[in-house]
Homo-oligomer: A and B are copies of this chain.
Amino acid sequence: MASPLIEPVARLIEAFARLPGIGPKTAQRLTYHLLRAPDAEARVLAAALVDVRDKVVFCDRCFNISDQPLCPICRDPGRDQTRLCVVEEPLDVLALERTSEFKGLYHVLHGAISPIDGIGPDRLKVRELLGRADEAKRGGEPFVEVILATNPTLEGEATAMYLAERLEDTVGLVSRIARGLPVGGDLEYADEVTLIRALQGRRAV
């Protein structure tokens, strides 16, 4: 029996299925959608893919994504240069920026410490972070605050602990984002660890 799956189609399904969170069924659906969609749709996506690799770099200073050696946030003189927020991924910068709550600078680690996966501090942008803190201190204007905004996971917590220890002598204050009940969440359904954190983090009202 001849396979009904012709080669260019099989290749696109395979390429989609390699993406995280896209299973073989979804990859099939996407492929057949693009086969029937206006020609421009597939070509716009293809061009955007090539562009993103050709034109996007990581910021020399904070390692956020950028189209220039320095990212838009590092270039912006209006940002508070004395406060630094440390995150795991560029997506975390986006999420925090959407809140408009933080006006300082960022540092993207590109991951978290995970001994199980063989990821130590040397695989992350940790040396660069310590370098920034050091340089600021030697310049006479140490960071007023470094907020550790790694994820509230085992790896994120371990990374925060590690960084807190390494940073305590070079910056004014090392802080950690609060962990507790998510807004709109339900106490009844919260897991125990979150509840413990919520209790530990309680404040006078």
Query: Interface residues, chain A, CB within 8 Å of chain B?
Result: 1-9, 11-12, 14-16, 18-22, 26, 28-36, 39, 41-56, 64-67, 71-73, 75-76, 78, 89-91, 93-94, 97, 100, 110
22 CB contacts below 8 A, A to B, read A1-B76, A2-B72, A5-B94, A6-B67, A8-B56, A8-B67, A9-B56, A9-B65, A12-B48, A12-B51, A15-B45, A16-B45, A18-B41, A20-B30, A28-B94, A32-B65, A34-B53, A36-B110, A39-B53, A42-B52, A42-B53, A46-B46
Min Cβ gap A129→B in Å is 18
CB neighbours (8 Å) of A31 from chain B are 52
CB neighbours (8 Å) of A35 from chain B are 52-53, 56, 65, 90
CB neighbours (8 Å) of A32 from chain B are 65, 89-91
Min Cβ gap A43→B in Å is 7
